[in-house]
Amino acid sequence: MKKIAIILSVAAFSMISNSCSDKFDEIDINPNSTDKPLTYGIFNSANKELMDNTRDEWQSGRIVLPWVQYSAQTGYTEEDRYQYRLSTGVSLWSFSYRVAQDYKQVIDLNTDPATKVQMANYGPNENQIAASRIMLSYVFLTLADSFGDIPYYSFGNQDADFQALNIDATLQPKFASQQKVYTDILKELKEASEMIDTNEVVFTQGDALFGSGEKLKKFANSLRLRVATRVKGVIPSAQTHINEAIASGVMTSNADNVGLTYENNLVNPSPLFNDFRERSDFAISKTFVNLLKGTTGSFGLDKRLFKYASPVGATQTMILNNAVTESTNPADYNGMPYGIPSSLTASQTASSNFFSTNILKPGYTEILMEYSEVQFLLAEANGWSQANYTNGVRASMERWGVPAADITTYINNLPPASQQNVLTQKYIALFMQPYEAWAEYRRTGYPNTLLLPGQTANLNVATTGGQTTYTFTSLIAGLTDLPTRLFYPTSVQTLNTANYQAAASAIGGDKMDTKLIWDTN
């Protein structure tokens, strides 16, 4: 009987298995997936993930935002002193490649003959491809600027060293050299700009960044100007790209600014505001406040201070409830001393300042690139032009809502255009765009008002023991200036060891003081 039971059980299982096999194709379908994806949905999701991660409390707030001394932490000051959490670098790397894969998917859907006709319902194929190529350039620029040699993908260049985003071919891609990456980014931006139909939209609906092909083209050319300025002198074609980008048409007003505006709610709020709801670790730095107050530098009082920071006494609750009254008294702004030992933080927080409610609000716009930066780039291209310099300052102050009379007074009293003055004003205007500010400092050495390792600075008030000053001490041996790059992620070291070792050797060592090819100041 037992033998018969076993036979019947096997037979029943066989019948069930055959029945399931007959319907396998029907069963093996994810009801939440679609064979008709919305390209603008993929594009917007990628844009949001990009800004969520590069402007949040981790990749921004605990690495580059304090390093360029826009901010200073009220705790965990080890990170301000360069001892960042390696897991944060892993996250920057991994989400960047996820986002890049999304942009590539938009390109694939618009080039595949089986899908491109359907995708044209969501916008002209060429404009969708161009927008994705441009955003891929933006992502790979941040990666190259942060790490050096990287795995790289190009739409228009089949170089054997460009092996990223092709997991069917390789799970262990080579690292392309910085020389090749920057050269190809410039080529991609040029070709993308040239393929845009400026008389058409980018997407027929759901376009949260551009709205028109004309604005997309200005962004492509402006980004090309940024990259070419970064690598002039080390990439032979850079000056040609500068000239061509300007001639093709860059941003001409604040209306051309490209940024992602978050929803004015608690469902999809801006990343730093969302983090601030739970943690109040980040204050505006004393170094930056001193520059805006005119205590350091040569510009006098800059009333962007009142737009960038909340006055002393503005609490976390007040900011979250948008219940802060703006003060125009410079005495209400001290900033948080940058890079202090953790033992001193408790004595400093009550007299420091959080960011303003212009920034810490759910509907904040995270800027990818703006007109004021373009004017400063043009000032440099035109031999430190006075006109472009003042245009850049005016554009920044207008964007932040400084009263017109105050703008006029400030500009009338600006010191003349020079490399130092233009680049310091560029740094002020790049506030809350820390990756670009970090790259510019490494390229130029400006602003020269930052607190560097080994230097002494003032505390806000005397501590219990009567201490009034402290010395900024790097926690990374050998770093006597800002870090010049991030460590390659530990996951890459483990999973792509041979290519990691080759890349580390090629750049001169996987260290935080290894200079990138354009860091020649």
Residue whose C-alpha is closest to residue 151's, from 104, 86, 221, 88: 104
Q: For residues 13-35, give the mean pLDDT.
A: 46
Is 286 contained in some domain? Answer: yes
- Residue 25 has a pLDDT of 46
Position 18 pLDDT exceeds 60? no
Q: Provide the residue type at 321 as one letter.
A: N
How far apart are the C-alpha atoms of 408 and 385, rounded to whole Å?
18
Same domain as 444, residue 495: no
Q: Which residues contact 428 (CB under 8 A, 6 or more apart)?
A: 291, 292, 302, 304, 396
Same domain as 246, residue 275: no
Same domain as 435, residue 315: yes
Same domain as 306, residue 164: no
Q: For residues 310-339, give the mean pLDDT.
A: 98
Tens-place pLDDT, residues 81-109? 999 999 999 999 999 999 999 999 999 99
DSSP labels, 375-418? HHHHHHHTTS-HHHHHHHHHHHHHHTT--HHHHHHHHHTPPPP-
- Residue 33 has a pLDDT of 53
Same domain as 400, residue 339: yes
Is 354 contained in some domain? Answer: yes
Tens-place pLDDT, residues 40-66? 999 999 999 999 999 999 999 999 999
How far apart are the C-alpha atoms of 493 and 63, rounded to whole Å?
21
How far apart are the C-alpha atoms of 296 and 289, rounded to whole Å?
9
Is 476 contained in some domain? Answer: no
Is 61 contained in some domain? Answer: no
SS (H, E, C) 220-245: HHHHHHHHHHHHCCCCCCHHHHHHHH
Q: Per mean pLDDT, which range of 173-177, 278-282, 285-289 is the poorest?
A: 278-282
Query: Which CATH number fits the domain that encloses residue 370?
Result: 1.25.40.390
Same domain as 323, residue 230: no
| Cβ-based neighbour number of residue 77 at 10 Å | 23
For residue 465, what pLDDT band results from cuts at 50, 70 and 90? confident
**Three-state SS for 94?**
helix
| b/e map 277-290, b = 16+ CB within 10 Å | eeebbbbbbbbbbb
Is 423 contained in some domain? Answer: yes
Same domain as 332, residue 205: no
For residue 519, what pLDDT band results from cuts at 50, 70 and 90? very high
DSSP labels, 158-212? --TT--TT-TTT-SSPPPBPHHHHHHHHHHHHHHHHHH--TTS-S-SS--SS-SS
- Residue 490 has a pLDDT of 95
Number of domains in the chain: 2
Same domain as 275, residue 221: no
CB 240 within 8 A of CB 227: no
Position 2 pLDDT exceeds 90? no
Position 23 pLDDT exceeds 60? no
pTM of this structure: 0.93
% of the chain with per-residue pLDDT over 90: 91
Q: Which residues contact 376 (CB under 8 A, 6 or more apart)?
A: 388, 389, 392, 422, 423, 425, 426, 429
Position 431 pLDDT exceeds 90? yes
Tens-place pLDDT, residues 472-514? 999 999 999 999 999 999 999 999 999 999 999 999 999 999 9
Label residue 167 exposed, middle or buried (CB < 10 Å: 0-12, 13-18, 19+). exposed
Same domain as 233, residue 169: yes
Give the residue numbers spanning the domain of 319. Answer: 271-471
- Residue 521 has a pLDDT of 84
Token digits for 469? 């000053």
- Residue 167 has a pLDDT of 87
Q: Which residues contact 154 (CB under 8 A, 6 or more apart)?
A: 162, 184, 187, 188
Is 503 contained in some domain? Answer: yes
Is 72 contained in some domain? Answer: no
Same domain as 496, residue 366: no
How far apart are the C-alpha atoms of 193 and 245, rounded to whole Å?
9
Same domain as 333, residue 205: no
Count CA atoms closer than 13 A to 63's CA, side-chain side.
29
Same domain as 305, residue 454: yes
Residue whose C-alpha is closest to residue 225's, from 190, 195, 176: 190
Position 279 pLDDT exceeds 80? yes
Is 307 contained in some domain? Answer: yes
Mean pLDDT of all residues belonging to the chain: 93
